[in-house]
Structure 1
């Protein structure tokens, strides 16, 4: 009888130990998710603060141009190796980074990871890809399937998705433009080339002659 009782106690102890191990594992996983979410929130806050600062600086430049002394004709220019299209400048990287680091590179250049708002802009990008894949400034990391541009946090409206894209995947949360110009979803930690976009600098080219 004692042997049977001891056996039952050991079985119960083993069962309780397994449950405790499972609870500890679940707690550890939950804690890791909390820390990861906190890191993501802090990263998003830093990006938002830098973006707001860049937008404010751009607004100051425009205001200074409009309110400057005298009337003047205004031209636009882009930094060296950037390409101008319309009123925007575009930087096509020669190196590769993951999506977050590419985004930060653009922000540090007072730019945004590229967004696309028209057929003409899409055509310009496609013609300058040099047959390689580039990151786009869009993600659905906040809500699966709801793609937004980081520039302005606006929903992606004009789209050029490849067939079968975007994929509904918890891993593929960042957008790319493929060598043929079509869009696709990709794993954000992968390394690709990227495109930065910003407004061209305003320059006073000449003063009007008063009549």
Structure 2
């Protein structure tokens, strides 16, 4: 009886070990055959995608679109840098767009830095964007461009747009909830000051 139980235990253990060994072998094979590419999104989240080493850029782009469930795809692209810099208005030349028609491996080389999901083509009329989620991605891009000073606005316009951001994130102004410094923890405009926060708060009160 004991011998029978021991055999079953050993058999189960061996089976588990065998499955684990197969999983490790499969993981090693994927690593040898594929590329792991991390993409940073406009909402500051990130995701790692796995593609074949011979895959072209369009394969990665398709995975990104599926991950986001993005319908209007043509407005967006992926940027990368060979030296690890991030998208920056001071050094726009350091960023390149991933070419969908070319090999990912040839474009990225041994680059271990993340790629950045960004708006590549803007529209003159936002009403042409059919999907709300597409408009949301444009909003995130414009907000980032303002904060990173790639898009320069008069202070009055910047405060107005910031007030809409507050409305979107915090809802209607509530005197009981929104105290004197309720905007101090939010990064809304470059060079944000107390006077600007007061102006944004005044505009926020007008939105319903």
TM-score (norm 2): 0.23
Bigger fraction of residues in helix: 2
Bigger fraction of residues in strand: 1
Larger Rg: 1 or 2?
A: 1
RCO (CA 8 Å, sep 6+): is it higher in 1 or 2? 1
